[in-house]
Amino acid sequence: MRVGICQFAAIPGHVGGNATEMMRLLEEGQRGGADMLCFPELSLPGYLLDRASYTPALLGNLQRAEEDVRSTAQSLGVGVVYGTARASRRGLQNVVVMYSASAHEWVYAKSHLPAPEREVFAPGDAIVSADGEWALGCCYDLAFPQFCAALADSGARAFLFPMAWECERAYVYEQLVGARAIENLAYVICSNQTGDIGALSFYGRSRIVDPWGEVVARMGRETGVICAEIDLSLVVALRDRGDARAYPLLADRRPLDRNPQSSAAGQAWSRT
């Protein structure tokens, strides 16, 4: 399968302009042979962290923009993954939407929210796996090993992460992507925002990483699309120990007691 990552600077509150740019990138990715294209976190509203700005009018604009983006993807025969904001019974949520070429929708509400996002969005609390092959995450979720382990436990072989990762903590992003791929024997696909938006400077450097932690496609901070072939059957072989190049990390992982009792040996050690 050929996957494309689409990187651009989404302007906060500029829904129509962001949607237009996404549709342009969908066409570029389709010309590059992509079967699925992944966009950044909050790519339709932009990284807008002002709760008052999410008026009924803006939410209506977001809904119409989603319809336009999905209609374009359908006409091109490609799947699309993108970030937006949606109202739910729990409140406004930062969501990732996967819309397949066969017109099926999956929606994941971001569960790990940094402090500024908690002022605007309600967290989700569910893992979302699509077709038993793909799992959805969002930006900060990548920093939590147990979250990605749950994605692997769902059977997913590729993790899709729309992102709005900033330059300030780029060192964390650089170290985490490969680690999450290796420890879960999965492809990790990160599509990040780029550019300087007000006081925020987004890191870009979107990438696709294979189950050995090797980068198979990488961008700088430019706007555009890059595509790469991924082989989901490779993940099956690695997890089934059919390829000796990978550690059987999933098979060897053991759940630990979250409320351990101190052993006599542990107490003796602590006194030495």
> Quick one: pLDDT band at residue 269, thresholds 50, 70, 90?
very low
Dist CA 148 CA 143 (whole Å): 9
Dist CA 37 CA 2 (whole Å): 9
3-state secondary structure of 4: strand
Once rounded to an integer, what is the mean pLDDT over residues 62-73?
A: 98
- Tell me which CATH code domain 2-271 carries: 3.60.110.10
Instruction: Spell out a b/e string for 111-121, using b for 16 or more CB atoms within 10 Å of the CB, else e.
Output: bbbeeebeebb
**What pLDDT score was predicted for residue 202?**
98
List CB contacts of 99: < 8 A, sequence separation 6 or more. 70, 73, 79, 80, 81, 105
Average pLDDT, the chain: 93
Question: pLDDT digits over 149-205, tens only?
Answer: 999 999 999 999 999 999 999 999 999 999 999 999 999 999 999 999 888 999 999
Q: Are 10 and 18 in contact (CB under 8 A)?
A: yes
Once rounded to an integer, what is the mean pLDDT over residues 75-93?
A: 97
- Tracing tokens 């060897």 back to the chain, one arrives at 252
Question: pLDDT digits over 17-46, tens only?
Answer: 999 999 999 999 999 999 999 999 999 999
> Quick one: pLDDT band at residue 265, thresholds 50, 70, 90?
very low
Q: Are 111 and 121 in contact (CB under 8 A)?
A: no
Dist CA 4 CA 107 (whole Å): 19
**What pLDDT score was predicted for residue 270?**
39
Q: Are 186 and 210 in contact (CB under 8 A)?
A: no
Nearest by Cα to 190 from 223, 157, 155, 215: 215
**What pLDDT score was predicted for residue 216?**
97
**What pLDDT score was predicted for residue 50?**
96
Nearest by Cα to 123 from 104, 144, 105: 144
Q: What is the dihedral of CA 64, 7, 194, 177, to 10 degrees?
A: 120
> Quick one: pLDDT band at residue 258, thresholds 50, 70, 90?
low
For the chain, give the percent of residues with pLDDT over 90: 85
Structural domain spans, the chain: 2-271
Once rounded to an integer, what is the mean pLDDT over residues 90-102?
A: 96
Query: Backbone dihedral region of 23: left (phi > 0), alpha (psi from -120 to 50 degrees) or beta?
Result: alpha
**What pLDDT score was predicted for residue 141?**
98
